[in-house]
Amino acid sequence: MAAAGVAAVLGLAVLLPAAAFPCGAPRPQHPDNATASKSSPRKPDSSHRPALLSPQLLGTWLYVAGAAQFPRHLLEMLVIDHGHLHVEPRAGEQELLITQRVAAGDQCLTNNSTYFKIGTGNTTLVKHAKTQQTVGTLMNLSSEDVLLIQYQLQRERTYLGLYLYARNLSVSTAHREEFECHAKRLGLGEEEIVYAPWKTVRGRSRAGEGRQSRRGPRPGQGCQDPGL
């Protein structure tokens, strides 16, 4: 699939070849205390400071899985070998720059056209740097080591996507089920969920187990109504 075809995966609006970006998967990085103290925004006097502005968002997040309603996006997820995003402070006190990277075959792609906008009430939006358009939302999860981003694509209707990142690729069954519960609530079915790298998982699955193995636990297992 052409490099431009991967552009929508992980919410990338425009992907550029990155000659300096190695195709090898990165090791997860947590910001140390010194880095966090230098790079995190100053703590304002207001007691309404958003909780998600803490340094726990900074550093490298590895791509684990995605779910998409838009058919082309679903197909594109199958070509991802691995991906990650790196979060660092931006100019504004309530903004964090997102650098997204994807390896697909022998092509290494990168993009930094989006950023997190931290708002009141623990709301974190994904914004496009040039248009200032909101393209996604950071979802609340039970662990600080897992990141879940909901994206939206406006075409003839609004298509939703959900992407799971983690500090390392050893994501627990509970976190996978939590991701799939969120997908179910958005109307995303089992056939719209793909774990990366799809071709590696599929290649080692036994006959009759391919579909379940490539997609992880069955969506809906252990799901509870968010109001309960």
User: How does pLDDT run across 59-74, given as a tens digit for each residue?
Assistant: 999 999 999 998 888 8
Q: Cα separation of 138 and 136, whole Å?
A: 7
For the chain, list the strands marked E by DSSP.
16-17, 59-68, 82-89, 95-104, 107-118, 124-128, 134-139, 146-154, 158-166, 193-195
Residues of the chain with pLDDT > 70: what percent? 62
Superfamily in which the 7-13+56-215 domain is placed by CATH: Calycin beta-barrel core domain (2.40.128.20)
Place 27 in a pLDDT band, splitting at 50, 70 and 90: low
Reading phi first (left if > 0) and then psi (alpha if -120 to 50, else beta), residue 2 is in: beta
The reported pLDDT for the residue numbered 121 is 76
The reported pLDDT for the residue numbered 31 is 52
197 preceded by a cis bond (ω within 30 of 0)? yes
Q: Are 139 and 188 in contact (CB under 8 A)?
A: no
Query: At residue 41, does pLDDT exceed 80?
Result: no
Give the strand pairing for 124-128 and 107-118.
Answer: antiparallel
Query: At residue 122, does pLDDT exceed 60?
Result: yes
The reported pLDDT for the residue numbered 11 is 46
Place 30 in a pLDDT band, splitting at 50, 70 and 90: low
Domain boundaries of the chain, sorted by first residue: 7-13+56-215
Q: Cα separation of 78 and 104, whole Å?
A: 9
Q: Cα separation of 81 and 56, whole Å?
A: 26
Place 109 in a pLDDT band, splitting at 50, 70 and 90: confident
What pTM did the predictor assign? 0.72
Query: At residue 185, does pLDDT exceed 90?
Result: yes
